[in-house]
């Protein structure tokens, strides 16, 4: 193992990043949307900090992770690699896209720019306290960006809140000074056409926006379905495999 992604890996990541950006631009054009209206989050879960640093050097500003235990150390290592290498690369913004346990809220508040998976009042409460402490301690300078995860299949095991419970959760997030309600997030169910699922999501979002007009973010779309998500209004796609290649089975 080397501390830096070698030239071959960096070239591979550059190719993956360029291809993902091209797909996003194509989907925006097809939907009649501005090319800058969709943020790309490169999901680096199960890949080493050296890959994250290589992506940041290639201009990726937003990186995503799905496990707190893996992400915290990786964000630190990535920052160290970038500052050791010198040069202009700013540290990336880290997005927690996977499920977050309440007892990891305090740790996540140290590194996460955004949490995309808030789906319960208890988790929102834990994050409000955790981010307030982190702000007080100078461990972060900005409020946490919060996406509420909507369940599109009604299966609580896969995370997400039902559309009926969104408003109460949104009100609680909006009441916390240490957080900013960014919008909604969803994962298309495995057993359904993404187009049908994302069309339903667009309907939920339209109703949500009437009550929370400033929370216009929509985090939807992954390697396999980002075009469909963008056609249905996504402002933020979370792309792993299409940039990084197949995920290693074992965590590095
Ligand atoms: C892993 C993950 C992704 C990226 O998935 P790919 O299919 O590899 O693009 C996106 N969103 C969440 C919540 C994930 O856990």
pLDDT of residue 2: 44
Q: Has residue 156 been placed in a domain?
A: yes
190 assigned to some structural domain: yes
Q: Would 232 be classed as within a structural domain? A: yes
How confident is the model over 151-165, as a mean pLDDT? 89
Asked if the structure places residue 250 within a domain, the reply is no
Average pLDDT, the chain: 94
d(CA 108, CA 101): 10
Could you read off the pLDDT of 94-131 as tens digits, one per residue? 999 999 999 999 999 999 999 999 999 999 999 999 99
Question: Higher pLDDT residue, 163 or 154?
Answer: 163
Q: How far is the CA of 250 from the centre of ligand 1 (A)?
A: 16
The CATH number of residue 154's host domain is: 3.20.20.10
- 239 — phi, psi (to 5°)? -115, 115
The answer to whether residue 251 sits within a structural domain is no
Q: Is the pLDDT of residue 3 over 60?
A: no
Q: For the residues 4-14, what does the mean pLDDT come to? A: 85
Nearest CA to ligand 1 atom 5: 240
Pocket-forming residues, ligand 1, beta carbon under 6 Å: 43, 45, 66, 97-98, 187, 222-224, 238-242
Domain assignment present for 17: yes
Question: Measured from the CA of 238, which atom of ligand 1 is nearest?
Answer: 10
> Does the pLDDT of residue 250 top 90, yes or no?
no
**Average pLDDT score over residue span 147-173:** 93
Is 155 contained in some domain? yes
Is 1 among the domain residues?
no
Å from CA of 43 to ligand 1 middle: 6
| Domain containing residue 40 | 7-244
What pLDDT does 1 receive?
43
Decide which of 250 and 42 is more confident: 42
- Compute, in angstroms, the gap from residue 136 CA to the centroid of ligand 1: 32
The number of domains in the chain is 1
């Amino acid at each position: 193992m080397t501390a830096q992604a070698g030239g071959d890996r960096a070239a591979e990541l550059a190719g993956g990043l360029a291809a993902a950006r091209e797909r996003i631009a194509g989907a925006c054009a097809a939907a009649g949307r501005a090319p800058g209206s969709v943020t790309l989050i490169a999901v680096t879960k199960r890949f080493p900090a050296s890959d994250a640093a290589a992506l940041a050097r290639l201009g990726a500003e937003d990186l995503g992770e799905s496990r707190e235990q893996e992400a915290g150390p990786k964000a630190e290592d990535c920052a160290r690699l970038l500052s050791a290498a010198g040069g202009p690369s700013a540290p990336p913004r880290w997005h927690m896209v996977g499920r977050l346990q309440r007892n990891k809220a305090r740790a996540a508040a140290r590194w996460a720019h955004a949490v995309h998976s808030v789906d319960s009042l208890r988790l929102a409460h834990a994050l409000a306290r955790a981010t307030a402490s982190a702000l007080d301690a100078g461990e972060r300078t900005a409020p946490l960006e919060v996406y509420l995860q909507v369940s599109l299949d009604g299966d609580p095991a896969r995370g997400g809140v039902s559309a009926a419970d969104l408003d109460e959760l949104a009100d609680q997030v909006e009441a916390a000074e240490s957080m900013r309600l960014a919008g909604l997030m969803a994962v298309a169910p495995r057993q359904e056409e993404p187009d049908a699922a994302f069309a339903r999501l667009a309907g939920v979002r339209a109703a949500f926006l009437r009550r929370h007009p400033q929370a216009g973010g929509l985090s939807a779309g992954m390697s396999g379905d980002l075009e469909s998500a963008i056609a249905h209004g996504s402002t933020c796609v979370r792309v792993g495999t299409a940039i990084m290649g197949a995920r290693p089975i074992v965590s590095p």
